[in-house]
Chain A
């Protein structure tokens, strides 16, 4: 059965299905209970699953992740909501020194099936600390898996896959796209869905590969459609750790060109790592250096400036032009 769902509602439906399938799945976070979260992603779950499974926590991010680790050690599968990207940082210690390393230091004895849901990115006119893209910190941390979604179908399936993973998964939600709708077939069994660590060709093309993830996928597709001179292939990365180089490299070998775009600051971002890897893997296929179109190496600006900070259609196409200028 196909249902029209927003990204937010699709995550909600995925959470519900996971909770129905496994009584060990718990929701934890600030305001996730009666309110249903500030973006309403956990709406209705408190009412249907109760306070023991949808836990309104004290307002302390380190406490949320730290107690989630304890719950996981007890056999639970906590799904923690961090209210906004910029509020993750108080939980950095528990995430980087404990959650990410627990399995390795236990010699494989322990598992950490914990999901951190983090609404991220800008474009909603928010105040400071509500528009950041911290994904590179997580992708740089061994032991974590990092994924993000660009549409409701992926949102529905990937949140469930993240929950069934025995590794900690950072699940980035593109907050400015929460209300984007798509038809989602919620019937098939989870096992038949694609793997969350695979990239996806979102729009086939022959001349150049445009790599995006999360909120930038829509911008990338719009740019591809606006460009009448070049046939742009858009690849939606989906998984930031690991990166699906098989899919990406195959695309670049076909097109010979790559532009990477993300909202996060340019330097030492995901784009830098991917450019290095693709250059190594596809050196003899490249017609031009890998071009990056990203946020600037500044703190996220006040919202009246964010349209200049965020890569938009024109800046992405400028990147495409720079590639063809070689």
Chain B
């Protein structure tokens, strides 16, 4: 039963072309370790340096968005401050392209602003993204923003197709948010 159950989960992931998948509490430490594994895997497959870096760049921004903005978080300090944020990250191959999907809960109150930002980014072509990036690079960050805006532009810029996103309303004043980028 046990093996059958987990083999089923594994098969499901394999069929979707998923190479890595992590669900649970994410931290900067996990970002580092998963990121290294991702780069090693791609380098072993002889992916060229700039492509590896582009995939890695999207991965870092997606992970940091979860760590900073997940609505499900445990924070505290032992020897140094720790931020554990619930979410999931999935990396796979689809039609010859790498994709990265991140998912985490967000507060419903934050959904409209996030949706506006993503919708705006989705409609921009490469040149418009470049102009927007240049503007935001020189902006003073918004209160409490921790740089998210430029992070989202970075994701859209490194992606080879328009980003995809979705929200699913949950029942406790939160929604599940997903963002997919193909590189």
Pairing of A with B: no
Q: Which residues on B are within 8 Å of A, measured CB to CB?
A: none
Q: Which residues on A are within 8 Å of B, measured CB to CB?
A: none
